[in-house]
Structure 1
């Protein structure tokens, strides 16, 4: 199998997420032609690529033609069916493979990988009926959270159970398949490290980021954050262990929980690009998009250097008066608009990255605008 690719060859991109357009731009800047496959003929991907195919993820004849027209292929979000990617591998080269994505999208497989490598996760149990949930709750203690085994199942099926009186809330969910029952921690930080694994197995990491969510929706991501050295070293060790364990090339991400008592646990794995990793386009010597392409094209992944603290804030209303005001007056806010890239999946129109010399100044600046209230 070919493992190295050169300017003038064609990269195929399949997906409908927010990272696609930026990945296209990075690939073209690096000299590659780009052919995309999207289920949406109005997608921004379709309009900026050199060539495109529009079809469902089960249009096998069209997918075959797409794969054969590309020298190598990448998926740019986790919302691509494994069956579709396995089919593409019959007719084209997919350097990322499918093993890592399959593991990262299945919560039980993901936890098995982590536990095999002695990596801490939140206490959990699997459940197929209400009795299993009751038993798990007795073992884990309340509150607990129910999550479908498959991550691409409707996230609304996740449910926090506060105590025995609310256990009935799980009854309406359990018919939807197998769940995991997990301990629920409310007072903790959520941290991530984005890394890239190259063709030679070498792993390079981007600076640590902290993510703040509201009901599962990303509110902001911050970089140049501080944690105790031993915590950061352990996070980096885990990222290396995970990268070595996965049969994978490209950018990946490990998300962590850090409790107030200093306990570190892995929240989840992401076997591709994420929304929050876009922050690095403004604060490091290269973007995650260039690094991802370097990895899958067989080019040595670059050493990552950080240049400035930053905050990434998604927005979902272009008519927001506060946002329009900041557009006119903020010289350190850098805007990215998604147009028709992944809107149906993420319900966001874009993000801005605020950069500066001190993170606390940026936090105060964003809070003063009250942008986060909308």
Structure 2
């Protein structure tokens, strides 16, 4: 791979909100954008210069995308590693496939983390109700059952809070392999992004506190009130993960912190992660530009918090309240997608709002004054 100059074509596999943001950032850097999306009406197609429509796992379409691009990157973590390998486009894919391979398979991801002595919640691999019965005492209630392969539509997540839930599961559990994992409640959640360039140089960016509601990403906060020892440990672990995976560009790591201060890695994300959209407002660099810089052999800047800030996902179900805030909040930065998005969400989202403040207390007051937080 060599330096990618402005007015070169960047190929993007996958669309949605992530593909759209990457295409917008690519244009800012002077690149042209080829994109492979599954639907001609995909949000990301509206930001591309050339659009290929079809399955992101179609080997011939992947070859066509690569043929017209100087480098190729994936905007979806669900693109098939087998398809990429069969398409023989590795020479144009600086991210590589190891990161995808690890993160697409929950068992491989946990095995990788265990092999590097990184704390994760207790878990077991299961394929039947009998397997669950045999291990559930060691896992404990509550626990959650997740399919090993991420993105499978015929397998669901099941929260087991008491023995009776196991009985109810008998008629609902589809065939396949699962991870049974301890459900850790009442935790603080964090995310951090880590870049790596072709030489292997790793940079960890500021950690963000993240909030989820009913399984959906709700928001993120950037502030200086977190325990410095916890932040240092998050950075140390994230760098350790990055050092031991062959990849280029960005990866994200999410963490859970219990009330007793115990820190667990929750999961690894290949490429960009929604919470880090906040970087653009609190550090002056977007995560999408950082990702493209690392993949294109451009130098990647160090980041630090220039101001306190928060990001809120704007659910479509609250559209009247969201539109009311537009008329009231002169200093909020709004981003609305041209198409309402459901990628990665149970509930469709309209876009995002970013709020910045000079200090943490002022930020809290701004957030508490809205129905959206």
TM-score normalised by length of structure 2: 0.93
Question: Where do 5+ consecutive residues of structure 2 fail to align?
Answer: none
Contact 1:310 1:355 in 2 (8 A): yes
Contact 1:204 1:304 in 2 (8 A): no
Partner deviation per Cα, 1:80-105 (whole Å, 9 max, x = no partner): 22233334443751111111011012
Contact 2:190 2:209 in 1 (8 A): yes
The offset of 1:173, in angstroms, is: 4.4
Between the two structures, name the one with larger relative contact order (CA 8 Å, sep ≥ 6).
1
The offset of 1:3, in angstroms, is: 3.7
The offset of 1:279, in angstroms, is: 1.0
Contact 2:313 2:351 in 1 (8 A): yes
Q: CA RMSD in A?
A: 2.0
Please state whether the residue corresponding to 2:92 is helix, strand or coil. coil
Please state whether the residue corresponding to 1:18 is helix, strand or coil. helix
Question: Partner of 2:367 in structure 1?
Answer: 366
Question: Partner of 1:333 in structure 2?
Answer: 332
Question: Partner of 2:354 in structure 1?
Answer: 353
Q: Distance in 1 between matches of 2:26 and 2:206?
A: 23
Question: Partner of 1:263 in structure 2?
Answer: 262
Q: Distance in 2 between matches of 1:291 and 1:266?
A: 23
Please state whether the residue corresponding to 1:157 is helix, strand or coil. coil
Q: Which moved more, 1:359-368 or 1:72-81?
A: 359-368
Question: Partner of 2:225 in structure 1?
Answer: 226
Contact 1:310 1:362 in 2 (8 A): yes
Q: Which moved more, 1:82-91 or 1:2-11?
A: 82-91
Shift of the 91–341 alpha-carbon distance from structure 1 to 2, 3 Å rule, reads: farther
Question: Partner of 1:188 in structure 2?
Answer: 187
Question: Partner of 1:37 in structure 2?
Answer: 36
Q: Distance in 2 between matches of 1:16 and 1:4?
A: 25
Question: Partner of 1:79 in structure 2?
Answer: 78
The offset of 1:310, in angstroms, is: 1.1
The offset of 1:319, in angstroms, is: 7.2
The offset of 1:164, in angstroms, is: 1.6
Contact 1:128 1:174 in 2 (8 A): no
After the TM superposition, which residues 269-284 of structure 1 pair with which residues of structure 2 at under 5 Å, given as runs?
Answer: 269-284=268-283
After the TM superposition, which residues 11-22 of structure 1 pair with which residues of structure 2 at under 5 Å, given as runs?
Answer: 11-22=10-21
Shift of the 327–177 alpha-carbon distance from structure 1 to 2, 3 Å rule, reads: same
Q: Hey, which bits of structure 1, 4+ residues long, moved more than 6 A?
A: none
TM-score normalised by length of structure 1: 0.93
After the TM superposition, which residues 198-277 of structure 1 pair with which residues of structure 2 at under 5 Å, given as runs?
Answer: 198-277=197-276
Contact 2:94 2:248 in 1 (8 A): yes
Q: Which moved more, 1:67-76 or 1:24-33?
A: 24-33
Partner deviation per Cα, 1:174-215 (whole Å, 9 max, x = no partner): 433111111111111111111211112112222111111122
